[in-house]
Amino acid sequence: MNLLRTGLLLAALTALFGTVGLLAGGEAGMILALLFAGLGNLFAWWNSDRLVLAWHRARPVTPESHPGLHRLVAELAARAGIPTPRVYLIESPQPNAFATGRDPRHAAVAVTTGLLELLDREELAGVIAHELAHIRHRDTLTMTVAATLAGAVSALANLFFWFGGILGGERRDHPLGLVGTLLLLFLAPLAATLIQLAISRTREFAADAAGAEICGQPLWLARALEKIEAHARAAPLPTAELHPETAPLFIVNPLAGEGGIAALFRTHPPTGERIRRLRELARRMRLAPPRPLPTHHAPARPRRFGSVPPTRRG
């Protein structure tokens, strides 16, 4: 159902893109819109991962510098049945993470330093498993295409505003005229953004469930989401504010405001609902309630993940 819904939303976004071109510029405008979309998606297909990582100033980390993190990603990738993605670190106190890449063989997982300091190994495993689920489902490509189309609709509306509305508003053959183009300028990007965010929200629930299956413990991710939600708002992520189109890629919304009118543009489902579903999944899997962590997993103050000993295997 989620896959079908995502496909329908992408189709709606593509139809909106073509409609903008048709209404603003007639047949010629529609051809320009389709050409614009094709070039944008081709560029996004090959360069999305490098662009997103560069925007957030993510740096690659090695198994030597972060052995625990690399080992955890490799173990979970094997469970997910995908190649081990590249691992990146973002210097930011905000606890967050995202995955990117056009397919499982060209994927990367990025985590913030704040995430490593906040979570214990089990909770971090839940977050990494969630991101690997996005990679396995190829959500990273879907979200990149959605972000590209949504951004292109806004750019196209602006293009027709300047060259079709203001410059061509007095022409009799202009399909919309100045007033219509002004409406297009505001309504088309709004509709595109809402469709993009709807795609993101449908994929998060599926990634939560698949991530729980990969790591085997839904409550690990539920605990992680509780901690991340409690701390993320207090620590802004400046690179996300500069590139808000990448917000749907993160495990929780990295942007500052979510109250009031901003709730309409929520990039993720409510965290409380995600936690509720994970707990229900845990009950269905007949898992025991969460146990207190061993002493070495519950330091008096947060420590970086690399300093936390790995969980013992029974």
List active site positions.
Answer: 131
CA-CA distance, 262 to 25, in Å (whole number)? Answer: 32
SS3 call for 107: strand
CA-CA distance, 124 to 133, in Å (whole number)? Answer: 14
CA-CA distance, 20 to 156, in Å (whole number)? Answer: 8
Sheet hosting strand 107-112, strand order edge to edge: 59-60, 86-90, 107-112, 97-101
CA angle 272, 274, 277 (to 5 degrees): 110
CA-CA distance, 244 to 56, in Å (whole number)? Answer: 11
| CA distances from residue 2 to 6, 8, 302 in whole angstroms, order as listed | 6, 10, 37
Token pair listed for 126: 């839940």
- The half-sphere exposure of 180 on its side-chain side, counting CA atoms within 13 A, is 14
Q: Are 281 and 205 in contact (CB under 8 A)?
A: no
CA-CA distance, 189 to 198, in Å (whole number)? Answer: 14
